[in-house]
Amino acid sequence: MRLILNASVVVKWLLADEPLVPEARKLLQEFQEGVWEEFIVPEFCLREVANALWVAHRRGRITEEEVRIGWFSFLQLNLSVLPDPPLSDVLDFALHHGIPVYDSIYILLAQQEGCSLLTADERLFQAVADNLPFVQWLGDYGQQGLQG
């Protein structure tokens, strides 16, 4: 099974004080055990993860060394990094659905790849749950399972 991951999920593997860390770690463990065939992120996710580590440092949550360790750990995760969808398509989708451009990148990639998108962003999930059932929330993981 393949799954697109939003940066909001990936960051939980790197920052222990985030909500939903146990669910995210369970997912990662399953990936490492081969339950999941492939975890996919768009190139944009790398920038979001780097920024999340920087913000955590600026807010005093982690040290500069922990930023570097977190970044190195992220690069070692063996995630499939795919090119972002064309920005004009992303912008059209964002305008049509009222979804931020950043989130639309992940949604369009999931549509292109024909697989589910997992997010830890509950607001995003609630905004699209009725119209885009392939978008799933990490908070539901372990309760009803995920569709790969």
Could you read off the pLDDT of 7-53 as tens digits, one per residue? Answer: 999 999 999 999 999 999 999 999 999 999 999 999 999 999 999 99
Residue 107 located in a structural domain: yes
Q: Is residue 93 part of a domain?
A: yes
Let me know if residue 46 belongs to a domain. Answer: yes
Residue 34 belongs to domain with CATH number: 3.40.50.1010
Q: What are phi and psi of 111, to 5 degrees?
A: -65, -45
Q: Which domain holds residue 116?
A: 2-140
- Return the structure tokens found at 45: 């996710």
Looking at the structure of the chain, the number of domains it has is: 1
In-domain check, residue 10: yes
Render pLDDT for 92-102 as a digit per residue (tens, 0 to 9): 999 999 999 99
Residue 141: band (very low, low, confident or very high) from pLDDT cuts 50, 70, 90: confident
Q: How far apart are CA 5 and CA 9, in angstroms?
A: 6
Residue 57 forms part of a structural domain: yes
Distance (Å, whole) CA 91 – CA 80 = 24
Of 58, 21, 51, 57, the C-alpha closest to 141 is 21
Task: Flag whether 125 is in a domain.
Answer: yes
Residue 68 within any structural domain of the chain: yes
Q: What is d(CA 46, CA 84) in angstroms, rounded to the nearest whole number? A: 11
> Tokens 């995003």 correspond to what residue?
124
Contact residues for 52 (Cβ-Cβ < 8 A; gap 6+):
7, 11, 14, 15
Domain assignment of residue 147, yes or no:
no
Worst-scoring range by mean pLDDT, 39-53, 98-112, 134-148? Answer: 134-148
Under DSSP, is residue 129 helix (H, G, I), strand (E, B) or coil?
Answer: coil
